[in-house]
């Protein structure tokens, strides 16, 4: 086997493991997911999972490498910022597969401290700086936390819990309802 063929096979094996891991973490959570089950789903020996990822924790981290693909919010007018945020996340989630890493992380974060910490890190590293750049004031971290609460609440109720009242809404209906709440959050004065 040539070196490039071996590298390609290795990439395919790694991708199969990550797909299987995301599916398991999504359906069973962190605690109930086992290396053996992930390996079985990927059609490989459990030792291969360990070879590629080292441990269940490292596999979890790799499966949940998340880029929120935040747009450049500095180019968005302040009055359009709430709509841009809501639309960005709706577009991302509406087109995401069931094993989307962000939704897997959200499901796991409810019961696993490591997943919750990872969620904090992602929003602190990606949403807060994007909002800080767009808002240009010192309350961006507080705003980012409250906006995250609203957007993650939407994700939880629409994509994980699948509450009928929320899943029945179109993305346009969600945006129409949620944008004013995000606008109020972004424009609220800082606490004294």
Do 53 and 84 sit in the same domain of this protein?
no
The model's pLDDT over 48-87, given as tens digits with 9 standing for 90+, comes to 999 999 999 999 989 888 888 899 999 999 899 999 999 9
Do 119 and 151 sit in the same domain of this protein?
yes
Do 131 and 164 sit in the same domain of this protein?
yes
> Of 63, 89, 112, which residue constitutes the final position of a domain?
63
Do 54 and 95 sit in the same domain of this protein?
no
Nearest one of 110, 102, 107, 108 to 127, comparing CA atoms: 102
pTM: 0.78
Do 89 and 182 sit in the same domain of this protein?
yes
From CA 160, how far away is CA 103, in angstroms rounded? 8
Range of the domain at 26: 3-63
The model's pLDDT over 105-127, given as tens digits with 9 standing for 90+, comes to 888 888 888 888 888 888 889 98
Domain count, the chain: 2
Residue 192 is assigned to a structural domain of this protein: no
Residue 23 is assigned to a structural domain of this protein: yes
From CA 181, how far away is CA 176, in angstroms rounded? 10
In the chain, which residue ranges form alpha helices assigned H by DSSP? 3-32, 35-42, 46-53, 56-63, 81-94, 101-109, 113-122, 128-135, 140-155, 164-167, 171-187
């Amino acid at each position: 086997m040539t070196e490039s063929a071996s590298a390609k096979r290795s990439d395919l094996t790694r991708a199969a493991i990550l797909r299987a891991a995301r599916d398991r973490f999504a359906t069973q959570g962190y605690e109930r997911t086992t290396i053996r089950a992930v390996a079985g789903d990927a059609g490989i020996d459990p030792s291969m999972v360990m070879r590629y990822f080292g441990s269940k924790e490292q596999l979890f981290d790799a499966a949940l490498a998340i880029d929120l693909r935040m747009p450049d919010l500095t180019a968005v007018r302040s009055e359009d910022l709430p709509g841009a945020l809501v639309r960005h996340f709706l577009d991302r989630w509406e087109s995401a597969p069931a094993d989307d890493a962000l939704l897997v992380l959200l499901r796991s974060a409810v019961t696993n401290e490591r997943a919750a910490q990872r969620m904090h890190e992602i929003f602190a590293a990606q949403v807060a700086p994007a909002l800080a750049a767009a808002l240009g004031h010192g309350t961006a971290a507080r705003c980012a936390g409250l906006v995250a609460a609203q957007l993650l609440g939407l994700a939880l109720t629409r994509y994980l819990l699948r509450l009928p009242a929320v899943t029945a809404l179109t993305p346009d209906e969600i945006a129409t309802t949620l944008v004013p709440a995000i606008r109020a959050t972004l424009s609220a004065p800082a606490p004294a």
